[in-house]
Amino acid sequence: MPRPVLTTRDFENTPDGGEITITPDTLVTPLARDELDRRRISVRVEEASQAGAPSNFGRIVAVGADHGGFALKEELKGHLREWGYTPLDLGTSSSEAVDYPDYAEAVANAIVRGDAWRGVVIDSAGIGSSIAANKIPGARAALCYDRATARNSREHNDANILSLGARLIPAELAREILAVWLKTEFGGGRHQKRVDKIRAIEERHRKP
């Protein structure tokens, strides 16, 4: 049976600031997600007892890394499970040399398709993966190196992908950054206008 899909037409009569309810397996299109954010419409996922299926979309975190980030990826997956999240591992599967853009693209695609709630990309410095992920329209990847940048990227920029440099920060700090990043909500308000401008830049440069 195909997954239900939420499009902008499904909530066009919902007032701004209102709420809609979806089932746990609903696929939210990138355009619908942007419109929900713009109109400040909240989305409530039915409980498992109501929907008849586990409600875990808001707990799925896509993770991807090249060889330089492989070990840290494996460690952070363990923390995600401890915190009640479900890691969606998109590679790589060993420390054999690979190319970071492939895994950054995979994570970004998972986010904009609605396969995961948030994403994490890891390479040696974190810079290349953040650049690659941000080439995907709808992805907002932020390279964070301490708790303050993690919090800022969520509060101000509504970042949906966290980029980490495995050889520039210790694993314990990476764990703390990830924990802060996951629990920090987007601030909205004056920041919403600026995120909207980021989306507008994407729209202006989309290929026809």
List pLDDT tens digits, range 137-175. 999 999 999 999 999 999 999 999 999 999 999 999 999
- Per domain, the residue ranges of the chain are 1-55, 58-183
Q: What is the pTM assigned to this prediction?
A: 0.75
By annotation, the residues acting in catalysis are 156
Residues in a beta bridge with 163: 121, 143
What topology does CATH give the domain 58-183?
Answer: Ribose 5-phosphate Isomerase B; Chain: A, (3.40.1400)
pLDDT at 5 over 90: no
* Contact (CB, 8 A) for 22 and 6: yes
